[in-house]
A and B are shown apart, each in its own frame.
Chain A
Amino acid sequence: MRILVCVKRVPQTGGRIVLTPDGQEIDTKFLGFTVSPHEECGVEEAVRIIEAHGGETVVLTLGPTAAEDQLRDAMAIGIDRAVLLETDGSEWDPVSTAAAITAAIRDQEAAGGAPFDLVIFGNESADSGGFQVGIRVAVALGRPVVSGLKGLTVGDGSVRARREAAGGGWETYDLPLPAVVGVKEGINLPRYPSVPGRLRAKKKEIERITVGAAGGGPAASAGTPFGPVKALLRLPEDEGSQVEILGRGADAAPAVVDLLERIGVLAP
């Protein structure tokens, strides 16, 4: 099997987000970078499938030169090689991103002489959360696609996919290969990279393809409407709850249960 997994470099947030003074991006002076948890699981899933079935895994990202770090992270847990669609560091909209990834997949498949059996995306990027790049790529390639997956079982020429149903329970889908999937955190518990894995990753190949700015990408040059185009980022207004301290330690239990009764979540 050949599997391609797509990831996106994003700031490692956790505490309060701070923006740059021009409101164009998150101030990352004091932040590291990572990929979305969904994509970490996508990388892990690709490695597990190839461990079980044999074949080749490739990781691809569209981003700045520094996104090499995220490609190396993926190779450290077992991805074979990497492709960097190198931007000028500016933000790419989903239409442009999907067009560039589609073009890169076609080139990779032409060079490899066969399609990727599976192209894995994270369900949505952690930062811009457009919920669409994987589906756009699949539609452009004419391949079946399903998102939101928390289970994948590869069979002979097909894959069974499992996702949580609204309201509880699960639903299953059966897709013929080659296919595109959007996976979610929870599909597996990703391993940590080992030291030998990290050392091996340093020696693995990263193929670099310059794509520059979104406005010069394949979507814009094909005259396709693209966007949405970011104007400004801002923090939501502070909902500013005033916290009422009910007490300290176990002695607060009666005050808590009074509250439960008052708000009607506990029949008195």
Chain B
Amino acid sequence: MSGPVLVFVEVAAGEADRVSLETLALVRGVAGALGGAPVEALLVGEDAAGVAGSLGAHGVTTAHAVTDPRIAGAYAPGAWGAALAELARARGAVAVVGSGTERGAEVLAHAAARLGMPLAANVVAVTPGDSWRVTRQRWAGSLLEDATLDAPIRCLTIAPHAVPVDEREGVAPAAVAPFAPAVTESDLVVRVTGREAPAAGSISLADAKVVVSGGRGVGSSDGFRIIEELAGLLGAAVGVSRAVTSAGWRPHTEQVGQTGTRVAPDLYVACGISGAIQHIVGCKSAKRILAINTDAESPIMAVADYAVIGDLHTIVPAISAEIRRRRG
């Protein structure tokens, strides 16, 4: 029987990260194709042990938990990657898998570098065999690449939202195994040494249920008052296109797209955004897209579900006014 597939599962606020659960769903399929290889997980965090057991429902047989506060007390990419590499060797893993999140990508790169193995990033499909075939995202998903991954230990990150979570009932909880990696002081040099909380009352762009975005068509920094007004009425986060941050109208933290934030709201309102592919990849995971644009032929219309044709400078205030009117 094949050695295990080892998955780095991210933990936030005492729960497994949802994107990690998606990764486990894809790995469940890979393990099946390997003839029922066991799926094992590595979790790092002072509360990791509490989360580990619940992963049985996601196909994990054994969850290794690192809780030593020296390693688990603060995110340390090198130390976490070294721990993952050490565990992969110790368990005879055939593959090491993480999620294509900021931390997942970083930890897997550290692990792959330390193992001396190649890493395929943002994979959406895997066919194991003598040489593994993978399909991975390029250009943030605007393009797909079919590639081969030929190595004793295959390292992968799975693109967020490639597959849905697959939680099954009536499955035994995962066995929880404490793991004390032989991490060195030099691995711990880089770690989070300070945190700044988000501004009070701010809505996280990545997690917002509604995003109201403005592009070049907004025309100026002042032009964003009407975007902010509508966002405020909807409890939405404000987003922008790259043209806006390049012009210095708004901060980069609001940028949606390949080199900004990927959003997945229930509704994405794109005001005066023409829809370069680098922007589309950042918003196409939205359940619905409403485009407000003077040009009915602009590329954003190819991904929009709803559209209003015309000048956002009159349409957006009219929508805000209509909301206020109905609220009395």
- Report which A residues bind B (CB closer than 8 A): 13-17, 26, 36-38, 93-95, 98, 124, 126-132, 135-136, 139-140, 142, 144-148, 150, 163-176, 184-186, 189, 224-236, 239, 241-257, 259-260, 263-266, 268
Q: Which of A14, A132, A264 contacts B121 (CB 8 A)?
A: A132
Q: How far is the CB of B130 from chain A (nearest CB, A)?
A: 14
Given contacts A93-B118, A184-B259, A186-B260, contact A249 B193 (CB under 8 A): no
User: A131 and B103: CB pair below 8 A?
Assistant: no
Interface-located stretch among B28-36, B59-67, B240-248: B240-248
28 A-B residue pairs with CB within 8 Å: A14-B278, A16-B277, A36-B259, A98-B113, A132-B105, A132-B112, A136-B109, A142-B186, A144-B78, A144-B189, A164-B253, A165-B195, A169-B196, A169-B198, A171-B192, A172-B192, A175-B190, A186-B252, A228-B147, A233-B145, A241-B303, A248-B310, A249-B311, A249-B315, A251-B318, A252-B310, A263-B266, A266-B323
CB of B255 within 8 Å of the partner chain: yes
A174–B189 CA distance with the chains assembled, in angstroms: 8
User: A185 and B308: CB pair below 8 A?
Assistant: no
B122 proximity list for chain A (CB < 8 A): 129, 131
A140 proximity list for chain B (CB < 8 A): 113
B207 proximity list for chain A (CB < 8 A): 167
Interface-located stretch among B132-140, B169-177, B213-221: B132-140
User: B106 and A189: CB pair below 8 A?
Assistant: no
B1-31 CB contacts (< 8 Å) to partner A: 12
Complex: chain A residue closest to B195, CB-CB:
A171
User: A166 and B101: CB pair below 8 A?
Assistant: yes
A255–B305 CA distance with the chains assembled, in angstroms: 14
A259 proximity list for chain B (CB < 8 A): 290, 306
Q: How far is the CB of A181 from chain B (nearest CB, A)?
A: 10
A268 proximity list for chain B (CB < 8 A): 326
User: B255 and A185: CB pair below 8 A?
Assistant: yes
User: B308 and A129: CB pair below 8 A?
Assistant: no
User: B189 and A130: CB pair below 8 A?
Assistant: no
Q: How far is the CB of B174 from chain A (nearest CB, A)?
A: 24
Q: Residue among B114, B119, B301, B302 with the most chain A CB within 10 A?
A: B119
A164–B209 CA distance with the chains assembled, in angstroms: 20
Instruction: Please classify the interface of chain B as helix (H, G, I), strand (E, B), loop, or mixed, using the class held by over half of its residues.
Output: mixed
CB of B267 within 8 Å of the partner chain: yes
B44 proximity list for chain A (CB < 8 A): none
A5–B196 CA distance with the chains assembled, in angstroms: 28
B-side interface residues, number (CB < 8 Å):
104
CB of B49 within 8 Å of the partner chain: no
User: A173 and B191: CB pair below 8 A?
Assistant: yes
B209 proximity list for chain A (CB < 8 A): 265
Having A225-B116, A227-B120, A233-B143, one finds 4 other A-B pairs with CB under 8 Å, namely: A17-B277, A38-B259, A244-B307, A263-B266
User: B319 and A256: CB pair below 8 A?
Assistant: yes
User: B276 and A15: CB pair below 8 A?
Assistant: yes
Given contacts A136-B109, A260-B234, contact A172 B195 (CB under 8 A): yes
CB of B264 within 8 Å of the partner chain: no
Q: Which 8 A-B pairs rank lowest in CB-CB distance, beginning with the nearest?
A: A186-B252, A168-B198, A250-B318, A253-B318, A225-B151, A172-B194, A132-B109, A228-B147
A244 proximity list for chain B (CB < 8 A): 305-307
Q: Which of B140, B192, B202 contacts A173 (CB 8 A)?
A: B192
User: B121 and A227: CB pair below 8 A?
Assistant: no
Given contacts A168-B202, A173-B191, contact A37 B315 (CB under 8 A): no
CB of B50 within 8 Å of the partner chain: no
A15 proximity list for chain B (CB < 8 A): 276-277, 299
User: A131 and B202: CB pair below 8 A?
Assistant: no
